[in-house]
Chains A and B, each alone.
Chain A
Amino acid sequence: AQSVTQPDIHITVSEGASLELRCNYSYGATPYLFWYVQSPGQGLQLLLKYFSGDTLVQGIKGFEAEFKRSQSSFNLRKPSVHWSDAAEYFCAVGATLHGNQFYFGTGTSLTVIP
């Protein structure tokens, strides 16, 4: 069965520090992978996506993610965090099987301290 795991429920970083949010997935074929961000009281906004090709993908707001097939991972990174990055982050796997479903991780809440 398809699943997405975000092992870190909550992360706190200092402004200007680097960030890595972890995501592992379980899927029977080559997955379509996504990271979404949700600011308080808002819907989800797409940060970046991986369909195929270069395993390092660039997204909006200075984020990047790397697909590692051998580790079934798609970790999100940012070299220098800004206070406005404080939000909830969701990793997702897109499936092209029946119903074209999306599978989400449980999310990682990011706090940024001055």
Chain B
Amino acid sequence: DVKVTQSSRYLVKRTGEKVFLECVQDMDHENMFWYRQDPGLGLRLIYFSYDVKMKEKGDIPEGYSVSREKKERFSLILESASTNQTSMYLCATLKQGVEAFFGQGTRLTVV
């Protein structure tokens, strides 16, 4: 089975902090994604990566950056956390271009 592991289930950070959310997958999938999930808005794509050191902006990249130095790891970075970035963050990988596998999610609260 594919395993997608997000480093934290819950995080509480202060406004202005730099925040790192880590995602690791064990199935050698090329494509990895970061979404945020908010009530009534569904899943919105922040960034995705289709190869090591490659990244593409999704629908809501403002305030975020990403890093993919190794194929199995995709990091989401909040450069200066703000309260409007309080959300559930979901990492996903894509198998053969069409089936997505998700991590358990990280619930981030910015105070």
Contact = CB atoms under 8 A, between A and B. Distances in A.
Contact of B102 (A43, A96, A105): A43
B104 interface: yes
Contact of A99 (B42, B50, B98, B102): B50
Contacts of B31: 99-100
B11 interface: no
B100 A92 contact: yes
A97 to B, nearest CB: 10
- What's the interface size class on B, roughly? 20 to 34
Contact of A34 (B43, B50, B100, B104): B100
Among B40, B43, B58, max chain A CB count under 10 A is at B43
Chain A contact residues: helix, strand, loop or mixed: loop
A49 to B, nearest CB: 6
A105 B41 CA distance: 9
Contact of B103 (A9, A41, A43, A46): A43
A82 B97 CA distance: 33
Chain B contact residues: helix, strand, loop or mixed: strand
Interface of B: 4, 31, 33, 35, 40-43, 45, 48, 50, 56, 58, 90, 92, 94, 97-105, 107
28 contacts: A6-B42, A32-B98, A34-B100, A36-B102, A42-B105, A43-B4, A43-B90, A43-B102, A43-B104, A43-B105, A44-B102, A46-B101, A49-B99, A90-B42, A90-B43, A92-B100, A94-B97, A94-B100, A99-B31, A99-B56, A100-B97, A100-B98, A101-B33, A101-B45, A102-B94, A102-B100, A104-B35, A106-B42
